[in-house]
Amino acid sequence: MDHLQNVMGYFDQQQPLCAEHDRISKDLYKEFGVKAGLRDENGKGVLAGLTNISDIRAFQYVDGVKKPADGQLLYRGYDVKDLIRGSSGSRFAFEEAGYLLLFGELPTQEKLEEFCRVLGECRTMPTNFTRDVIMKAPSHDIMNSMARSVLTLASYDPKAGDLEISNVLRQSIQLAGIFPMLAVYSYHAYNHYEKDGSMYIHRPDPELSTAENFLRMLRPDMKYTELEARARGKPLMVEIEIKPVRDKRTLDQNRLMWALLNKLALAMNGGTPGGVTAEQCYLDLLAEFGVEREIFEMPLRALPQFKRAYRVTHIIEHLPGGRCRVAAAPGTSCYTTQQMHDFIERIFDQLSLLGVDDAETTEQYRDWRRADGLH
């Protein structure tokens, strides 16, 4: 964190402001019935926490009757529509909203300039991080790449587990500064390695706003218009029509798939637990369907965090020094019903080839075909 020495005092300076606006009285937990879990005994949602940072209002009560509303999003009590109107034309709309969310109040011009200076200093990633993490494992899913990068960044932070307010504030502002870089660099890596395009890695300019830096890093020539920067400096107000998606795979398909994969692994092990795992069978089948697995090397202790980015992982080799080599793939989470049908059909084929024809498997096959409308 040597590159942050010039701004470390800022995090200590702003700590009291965070404590003032984010303290939640313990009495409120009892008053509002906050409890563990997601559902009460009547099947209704229950409060699992309290926050004064944001609020979503999707309903309104008319004469005591709960009715749907147009919807309202509030940051620290401010309607986001008012924040958008108030920041119209500003280069620093993102920074103003960020300051509000972090510190509970809108900044004065002086405080905004100080915050922008600190944010600019935080637009720096660890040495060789872009090369070693982003470029070596490009993904067509930019959010997936960003999630993996954030998890990896923790291993570069000597105070990753320090929960002091000033340290958490430092981490939050660093992430706010780095996120645009992660998104743009991930896109350029994907465009180069997967689409055979040119790759441009431009460093951010600490004097520019977040919106300006995003455009600067994204464009090959680093050029953009002032209108573009101002448009991207505030949220876009759009109207969308939301329709139910009916072609996604279901939870029932997911449960059936893993039940069959466990049977397949057991059959491949000759009916004895151990050896081939369900995850390994899954990765092999995904490869048949054109999903390429990726190979990573990491400390064993990092595996739980890594699984948050890759649901399907399999240790293929244990290495000296508490390290391992892991095969991973994104899985079938985005498969449609038809794609899942083909995938499950292939598992049944594999079971049949291995002579698995017990009554339970036969009944699962019949139920599945009936549920899919097949006979």
For residue 20, the tally of other CB atoms under 10 A from its CB is 11
| Rounded-to-integer distance, Cα 65 and Cα 46, Å | 19
CB distance 340 to 257 below 8 Å? yes
Across the range 182-195, mean pLDDT stands at 90
| Rounded-to-integer distance, Cα 295 and Cα 297, Å | 7
DSSP state of 301: G
- Pick the more confident residue, 33 or 242: 33
Closest CA to 134 of 144, 124, 149: 149
Q: How far is CA 191 from CA 42, 141, 142, 151, 332, in A?
A: 50, 11, 11, 23, 23
Predicted confidence (pLDDT) per residue in 283-309, tens digit = 888 888 777 777 878 788 777 767 766
| Rounded-to-integer distance, Cα 145 and Cα 138, Å | 7
| Domains of the chain with CATH codes | 2-232 (1.10.580.10), 251-371 (no CATH)
pLDDT at residue 88 in the model: 59
Helices vs. strands in the chain: H and E counts, helices first: 15, 6
Q: Where are the beta strands (DSSP E) in the chain?
A: 54-62, 65-75, 78-79, 294-299, 312-319, 323-329
Predicted confidence (pLDDT) per residue in 203-233, tens digit = 999 889 998 999 999 998 998 777 677 665 4
| Rounded-to-integer distance, Cα 10 and Cα 80, Å | 27
Q: Please report which confidence band the pLDDT of residue 29 belongs to, taking 50, 70 and 90 as the band edges.
A: low
Transcribe 36-94 into DSSP letters.
Answer: SSSB-TTS-B------SSEEEEEEEEETTEEEEEEEEEEETTEEHHHHHHHTTT-TTHH
pLDDT at residue 251 in the model: 57
Q: How far is CA 158 from CA 2, 29, 155, 169, 171, in A?
A: 11, 34, 8, 15, 11
The SS3 assignment for 338 reads helix
For residue 146, the tally of other CB atoms under 10 A from its CB is 19
pLDDT at residue 294 in the model: 77
| Rounded-to-integer distance, Cα 241 and Cα 306, Å | 35
Q: What is the mean pLDDT of the chain?
A: 80
- Pick the more confident residue, 232 or 83: 83
Q: Please report which confidence band the pLDDT of residue 176 belongs to, taking 50, 70 and 90 as the band edges.
A: very high
Please state the pTM of the whole predicted model. 0.55
Transcribe 92-116 into DSSP letters.
Answer: THHHHHHHHHHHSSPPPHHHHHHHH
Across the range 59-81, mean pLDDT stands at 83
pLDDT at residue 333 in the model: 65
Residue 336 bridge partners (DSSP): 248
Q: How far is CA 290 from CA 217, 307, 345, in A?
A: 32, 21, 16
- Pick the more confident residue, 244 or 272: 272
